[in-house]
Structure 1
């Protein structure tokens, strides 16, 4: 099978790039041909040229708006299409006056609509939108990189200071700056801890405010952009992995933390709740008081951190993800052929 994966042109450390690389590796290992095409708004003509040159059996869009808009512009009807909905598509994009109509058009034309979050799949199907019958859930898989961490534990926190790690691009939806403010009362109380952030600056004004805020807090630092292959090694250095996003699809960093058994402290949103089980492998919080309570317990109680360390690599086997993804491709191809045959009849 020839598969063209279309993804937004962005920093290589982002989730879309990690997902595309994992899909490609899994599919190629089974003998399929895969091409990646990175696009931005207005790239319809270049995407059309790439599609006609590669002649795929199926097109897979990662991101309904940022990949879907160029796909609509490319006018490559007749080739089966599968689209993966991201967190920004679902939580904001569908309701955006500019993006919403584009996303709906993409979903109407697609043969299969993938989400990797079972809670999202259930919610969308229960809501009953026109495209609900095409929504399927792809069990998430991860491939843990083996590159060494750029930082040793001694570089990141003093002895006896639990290390909290927040892996995310710096932009408002990720809540990086607000996370610093959540830690402020704990720092004022004298609790020993350190907080490390990593990820690219994706919003210039917000990033400037964030870096200035980090500089005022001796217990916080930004590590820069960590290569995806080195992220597991860095996660192993952490005592707790954080996520303070307002919206998420299914964060790769949390999947890796869950597989490795690193406890997690995350905002209670569907994208995080699909990974974190309260009191089993981490904690969820809904407000500042709940955050302070749970973070304080994690700082003070090493035994609690050990109890929450439940490695589960088998839960996210990439081979299973690839197997199910291939089934979705084959379904899309078969239904597209049936649809075209019906038109000709």
Structure 2
């Protein structure tokens, strides 16, 4: 979500970033808005962030997350809350046409409020990084020249399903000791995190790393063999787009959010179950031409369809509409 704030600050706005988990009620957000003399607000995720803006006396907009449209809509109470938030919001942003259509089906009265803006990807630098030292820290002692590291980046929570591939991958590792899976991400859900750690300890060829600085994470992506996404639900995965920008092949679970950006066999590979993942991963390992073509196609796709400059112009325009509303 950092890209949107960078765009706004570049246009001269002062942005106050807050985590929705820091607030228990809309009243707390209203107090902050009054104390800091905030002119407008922008929330990510229609339920988690949007519900805290209900009744706000300054204009606000919403950016759909993914789980809001894919999961929360199925719970009646959350669905009702989100519908009311959209009534108050001046606009909402969906990453894809499919997300926009899903929102229209749920809340027909908000047609005309929803804009489509793909997530933009800024130029990702090629940072220096001691890859060998990183592998040694994880207890991976294979020669880097013959190693194939599959990287899964996700917050440790159930919707990201980091355990989905572990059994199948471990079986493969026992056949081929050069393949490893490394899971990187913050501990979002403490109870689920304990389950993940316990499972990883029992899974051959799988390693777990905590949250990393963005520059180091980009370096790990650049050095890995392929980026993996096993989520149950996604809006638009920044990790997938950044891997494509770095010319790293992507293997993603076949769900709507991933299929919107990954064209199977062209910009990445889509799998429907753990066994298919292993089959496709083996194919990628054994076919350097496929690996090279997918990496090149992914980079070109991001360059042409996920322009950081277009995203900047969209958000700067939308915030100007909030400013105009605030002045009326």
TM-score range normalised by the length of the shorter chain: 0.7 to 0.9
Q: What do the CA deviations read for 1:238-282 (whole angstroms, capped 9, x no partner)?
A: 111000000011111111112111100000112111221211121
1:47 corresponds to 2:13? no
Q: Is the 2:151–2:221 Cα contact (8 Å) retained in structure 1?
A: yes
Structure 1: runs of 5 or more not aligned: 1-18, 341-345
SS at match of 2:75: coil
Q: Name the CA distance, whole Å, in 2 between partners of 1:268 and 1:321.
A: 26
Paired position in structure 2 for 1:114:
93
Q: Report the Cα offset of residue 161 of structure 1.
A: 2.3
Q: Name the CA distance, whole Å, in 1 between partners of 2:11 and 2:68.
A: 30
Q: Name the CA distance, whole Å, in 1 between partners of 2:229 and 2:19.
A: 27
SS at match of 2:269: strand
Q: What do the CA deviations read for 1:127-151 (whole angstroms, capped 9, x no partner)?
A: 6622233111113113356595765
Q: What do the CA deviations read for 1:281-310 (whole angstroms, capped 9, x no partner)?
A: 210111233222211211222332122112
1:328 corresponds to 2:323? no
1:93 corresponds to 2:68? no
Structure 2: runs of 5 or more not aligned: none
In 2 relative to 1, CA 149–173 (structure 1 residues): closer, same or farther, beyond 3 Å? farther
Q: Name the CA distance, whole Å, in 1 between partners of 2:43 and 2:199.
A: 37
SS at match of 2:310: helix
Q: Is the 2:251–2:269 Cα contact (8 Å) retained in structure 1?
A: yes
Paired position in structure 1 for 2:179:
193
Paired position in structure 2 for 1:343:
none
SS at match of 1:245: coil
SS at match of 2:16: strand
Match runs of 1:130-145 below 5 Å: 130-143=109-122
SS at match of 2:18: strand
Q: Report the Cα offset of residue 97 of structure 1.
A: 3.5
SS at match of 1:194: strand
Q: Is the 1:64–1:84 Cα contact (8 Å) retained in structure 2?
A: yes
Q: Name the CA distance, whole Å, in 1 between partners of 2:130 and 2:72.
A: 36
Count matched residues.
Answer: 316
Q: What do the CA deviations read for 1:19-48 (whole angstroms, capped 9, x no partner)?
A: 1x3222222222233222333352433311
SS at match of 2:119: coil
Paired position in structure 2 for 1:174:
160
Q: Name the CA distance, whole Å, in 2 between partners of 1:32 and 1:337.
A: 14
Q: Is the 1:116–1:137 Cα contact (8 Å) retained in structure 2?
A: yes
Q: Report the Cα offset of residue 154 of structure 1.
A: 6.2
In 2 relative to 1, CA 161–38 (structure 1 residues): closer, same or farther, beyond 3 Å? closer
1:84 corresponds to 2:63? yes
* Of 131, 144, 160, the match for 1:152: 131
Task: Give the root-mean-square deviation of aligned CA atoms.
Answer: 2.5
Q: Report the Cα offset of residue 118 of structure 1.
A: 3.3
Q: Report the Cα offset of residue 52 of structure 1.
A: 2.0
Q: Name the CA distance, whole Å, in 2 between partners of 1:66 and 1:126.
A: 20
Paired position in structure 1 for 2:147:
161
Q: Report the Cα offset of residue 83 of structure 1.
A: 0.4
Question: What's the TM-score once normalised by structure 1's chain length?
Answer: 0.82
1:66 corresponds to 2:48? yes
